[in-house]
Amino acid sequence: MIQRSMTDFIQQLKYRNETLFYFGVVCLVISILFFILSRLSSTEVYGVSSWYKPLKFAFSTLTFSWAMAWYCFYLPDFNIKLFNWAIILLLGFEIFYIALQAGRGQLSHYNVSTPVYSALYSLMAFAASAVTIYTAYVGFLFFKHSFPELPIYYVWAIRFAIILFVIFSFEGFAMGSRMNHSVGALNDNSNWFIVGWSKTVGDLRVSHFIGMHALQLIPFLSYYVLKNVKLTIGLSVLYGLLALATLIQALQGRPLIKSKRPTLEVNDNAK
Residue-wise pLDDT for 7-43, tens only, equals: 899 999 999 999 999 999 999 999 999 999 999 999 9
Instruction: Give residue 221's pLDDT band: very low, low, confident or very high (50, 70, 90).
Output: very high
The Cα–Cα gap between 107 and 53 comes to 10
Pick 39 or 6 by higher pLDDT.
39
Residue-wise pLDDT for 42-73, tens only, equals: 999 988 899 999 999 999 999 999 999 999 99
- 123 three-state secondary structure: helix
The proportion of the chain whose per-residue pLDDT surpasses 90, expressed as a percent, equals: 82
The Cα–Cα gap between 212 and 147 comes to 24
Q: Is 207 exposed, middle or buried (0-12, 13-18, 19+ CB in 10 A)?
A: buried
Is the pLDDT score of 271 beyond 50? no
- pLDDT of 1: 64
Is the pLDDT score of 121 beyond 80? yes
Q: What's the mean per-residue pLDDT of the chain?
A: 92
- pLDDT of 268: 41
Q: Which of 210, 247, 217 is nearest to 235 (CA)?
A: 217
- pLDDT of 266: 42
Residue-wise pLDDT for 123-168, tens only, equals: 999 999 999 999 999 999 999 999 999 999 999 999 999 999 999 9
The Cα–Cα gap between 249 and 202 comes to 7
Model pTM? 0.92
